[in-house]
Structure 1
Amino acid sequence: MDPDGPRAPAWSRDAPPAVRTPCSRGRRRGPSRRSVASVQARRSTEYPAVPELPRTGAGPDPELRPWADLPADILGLVLGCLPRADDRARLRSVCRAWHGAARVHGRPPPPLPLLALSDFSVSIFCVDGTMTGVRRIWLPSRDLAVDVRCVGAFDVWLVGVQLNEGRYFGDGRCFLMNAFTRDVIPLPPPSVTTDFIDAYSTSLPIANGTGTVHCAVNGAPYVMSFCKVVLSSSPDPNSNCVVAAISVHRSAAKLALWQPGMTSWCVCDGGCISKFSDIALYQGKVYMFSKVTTNLFVFDISEDNSGLMVSYVERCIMELPEVMDSYGQRWNIVEWHGKLLLIVTYLGGAEGWHNICKIGVFEMDLSTNPFRYTEINSLDGDCIFISPCSSNSFRACLYDRVKNDLIYFIYPAKNASTFDKFVYNMRDGTMMPFAGEIKEDNFWAPNGRVLNPTWLFPSE
């Protein structure tokens, strides 16, 4: 860690290329006296000399004070006017005094979201609703940069996984990386061969439903390939961060749980997991929406000597309204003001976001079963950003120039041959294209594999 505080993110440093000037071989010769005199004469007419201002008192000239002596309140005001996380990191990285002043003087509103692409490049959301060009994040080592993809995020932390040498052997490495300091926290590999030491497993019936969920820690060998990973909090020292991951490998889906101190994942499988649509960690529980039964499943999590373990599974019935001419649906779970929202996209028969029939936003009441829900048409000045690996709400009203009550979608289209990128206005129900600055090639690997993007929401 830099003793002067966080460094400017590696992906934000755009150093100009070195300029090389031709010179003759041999001994270097300086400019002639005649050329120097002519240049000085020309400059004297182009740039008149500025008269020296008289000093108004003893002590150093205020105009010559070092930048490190700028008052903390001024730096705090400047920081609050920078809506982008990379610009704020640049300010804090200038020197120790600026870093300390930025921390002390108040707390500015959270910076605007970033979109992390699967290959660890980023694009930044701007106040006018556009996206910046794509910049690659410098990974801390070369071995981490091979076959790596981003599958989740929380605050400034990105979740990365790497494929084994053969794609059918699942993921070989999993880690958390700070997008600004590039600090890395290793997680247990998603695919391992265990020796059944300290093995523990349990099978739980699904309350208010049928079937069972089998969970095991240090159990039989397992192979997983993570497609979405969510965190309950930042993985700070002594935190109770819980990590929940969804694996889809050879059409088989599993739920994996982990927290600091565990040497392997708690792996769960069952019929309700096999056809998931979205997953969220909320108030210490895992919520998973099934696209087959259109029901919400709730997993209670307990902690024992083996680490995390699922202690109870319940099916919660959802009776969502139907929409005429809709031939399919897509569901996303988003936390908003301490509540869970279910966002339902009603798909039309043709491909592309232009043919979406309706987008419904439902506030869920989790105190009853069946769940009660209320359709809402406003986000009280907020916006929602949705992607396959991370979705969240954002306080857009904290910035005067950022429009609110909008939902930004970046998601694979129904046929998975292209990406839908559009913004939905909750006030009037209109839709417009979005993120045209990001080329379609950024969402696809050379082998044709989909590279899902992840929204990143830094807290400061």
Structure 2
Amino acid sequence: MDSGAGTAVGEMFDEMPQEKRARIDAGGEDPPESSWAGLHADALGVVLRFLPCLADRARVRAVCRQWRDAARGRGVAPPLPLLVLPRFRFASLTPGGVLSAARRAWMPPGLDAGNACCVGSSDAWVVGAGQAGGECFIVNAFSHEVRRLPHLGTYDCSLRKVALSASPESAPDWIAVAFMIRWSRPELALWRPGMRSWRVCHHALFAGHIDIAFYQGKLYMLWKFTPCLFAFELGDDEHGVTISRMKDCFIEKLLPTTLGSTHELSCNMVEWHGRLLLIIRYYGGYQARHRVKVKVFVMDLSTNPSVLTEIHSFGSDCIFIGSGGCKSFPAGQHGGVEGDLIYFGPDHYNPHDAFVYSMRDGRTGPIFKPLPCVTHASERNLGFPVWLFPKE
């Protein structure tokens, strides 16, 4: 869909301009009573259970104020994830496993969302960063609440990813960890509410291609092209949050070498039912990206040495892999939605990858029909898509 089709204020989520919705909710403007307004709230809850796609639920809420109020807190399963594209365009995952046409969502005034990179997410919150060390912010895509982060303060800086220890609304002492390339050198920067600036950390093990994630109170860093995993314990000093201890988990020595010796690798990690998974894509050489095999391992890091156990199924769950983070999703809560799939989005290291992989039979398929311009070089400087997981 062209960019002009979705520019009406607020129409992505509620199909109603933000200012008009605020007037109606405040009682300042009461539209004519709809014949549908008398539908019982419990009946509306049943309807919502058959609508796993967030865009469809938004259309239900847009019918009238009564439906919008009744749709809140109905205890239905969370909707299917969204993919946030450059310039804050949103695409909904459909029950058929492909993404809907992207539409631009309204963002609060004062955010230069059209020129900001999406570099992370947590639940309904999206992390945005301005170009060349500009502003950093976290915005709730639905309530439009904004939390400002300190500027990175340097022109020669490329912010690749921000991982959050928790969503800002769920914990007052949440931590943000940024991975960036500054002056051609990879760095980690730490921040928590109350700090005036980022705490920048350097180490020889900070590679230019990594994945970062929080798990059980620790920060983990995974090299993308060689499965080396490092655990960081975080503490506090007079300047704020800092890295107090680092440990090499040595998982690369536990992996089988039957595929890795002749294939290109790309590694990610994700938490699934309280366990940390290692997901490795094996490509048939750099020029044969279409030939891909995926292996998944449960990492038990509580033992010494660590233990890796290969698994072949997520049951009815799905895994979503993207540049802004990875997460599991209970797809089985929605009837007719296939589980046991891994959705891969493009990132800095795999800019053309956008496919779904079946753990059951190894087949792959597209998640975009057709593939949107997210992979075009003209938008590469605006980053890559991130997955978003609204609660209702």
Judging changes above 3 Å, is the alpha-carbon distance between structure 1 residues 410 and 65 closer, same or farther for their aligned structure 2 residues? closer
1:403 to 338, 344, 362: 338
- The answer for the alignment partner of 2:387 in structure 1 is 455
The letter for the 2-side match of 1:333 is M
2:311 paired with 1:388? no
Q: Does residue 340 in structure 1 map to residue 340 in structure 2?
A: no
Contact 1:146–1:162 (CA under 8 A) maintained in structure 2: no
Return the alpha-carbon distance in structure 1 between the equivalents of residues 225 and 319 of structure 2.
25
Once the two structures are superposed, residues 269-327 of structure 1 have per-residue CA deviations (whole angstroms, 9 ceiling, x without a partner) of 11111344211111221000134763211111123453212111111101221234633
1:308 aligns with 2:241: yes
The equivalent residue for 1:133 is 101
Q: For the residues of structure 2 that align with 1:65 and 1:349, how far apart are their CA atoms? A: 60
Matches of 2:298 and 2:79 in 1, distance apart?
26
Aligned AA for 1:284?
G
Aligned to 1:50: none
1:183 pairs, out of 118, 126, 145, with 145
Q: Give distance in 2, aligned partners of 1:148 and 1:374.
A: 40
Distance of 2:380 and 2:226 partners within structure 1? 30
Q: Which residue in 2 is equivalent to 1:171?
A: 133
- In the alignment, does 2:9 pair up with 1:74? no
Equivalence map 1:285-364=2 (5 Å): 285-291=218-224, 294-318=227-251, 319=253, 320-324=255-259, 326-356=262-292, 358-364=293-299
* Offset, 1:252: 1.2
Residues in 2 aligned to 1:433 and 1:67: alpha-carbon distance in whole angstroms: 38
d(CA) in 2 for partners of 1:148, 1:281? 24
Normalising by structure 1, report the TM-score.
Answer: 0.73
**Structure-2 change in CA distance of 1:143 and 1:459 (3 Å):** closer
The secondary structure found in structure 2 opposite 1:172 is coil
CA contact (8 A) 2:14 2:61 kept: no
Partner residue of 2:113 out of 145, 149, 152: 145
Evaluate the alpha carbon distance shift between residue 372 and residue 71 of structure 1 in structure 2; reply closer, same or farther with a 3 A threshold: same
Unaligned runs of 5+ in 1: 1-7, 16-63, 164-169, 193-221
> CA shift at 1:232, angstroms?
2.1
CA shift at 1:223, angstroms? 6.2
Gap change, CA 1:243 and 1:412, over 3 Å in 2: closer
The answer to which of 110-119 and 405-414 deviates more is 405-414
For 1:98-109, what aligned pairs fall within 5 Å after superposition? 98-105=67-74, 107-109=75-77
| Equivalence for 1:11 | 12
Partner SS for 2:290? helix
Which residue of 366, 370, 387 corresponds with 1:433?
366
Give the aligned partner of residue 242 of structure 1: 175
Within 1, Cα distance between the matches of 2:114 and 2:231? 36
Per the TM alignment, residue 405 of structure 1 is displaced from its structure 2 partner at its CA by 0.7
Measured at CA, do residues 75 and 275 of structure 1 come closer, stay the same or move farther in structure 2, by a change above 3 Å? Answer: same
Q: Is 1:242–1:257's contact at 8 Å kept on the other side of the alignment?
A: yes
* 5+ residue gaps, structure 2: 1-8, 17-32
Q: What is the alpha-carbon distance in structure 1 between the residues aligned to residue 312 and residue 270 of structure 2? A: 15
Distance 1:341 1:291 in 2: 14
| 8 Å Cα contact 1:326/1:346 also seen in 2 | no
Structure 1 residues 143 and 457, CA gap change in structure 2 (3 angstroms): closer
Deviations 1:118-153 (A, max 9, x none): 221111110011111111122222651352111111
Structure 1 pair 363/11, CA: closer, same or farther in 2 (3 Å)?
Answer: same
Q: Relative contact order (alpha carbons < 8 A, sep ≥ 6): 1 or 2 greater?
A: 2
Distance across 2 between alignment mates of 1:447 and 1:420: 15
Give the letter for the 1:390 counterpart.
G
Larger Rg: 1
- Show the 5 A alignment for 1:266-277: 266-277=199-210
Q: In structure 1, what is the equivalent of residue 3 of structure 2?
A: none
Whether 1:85 aligns to 2:29 is no
Which 4+ residue blocks in structure 1 deviate beyond 6 angstroms?
A: none
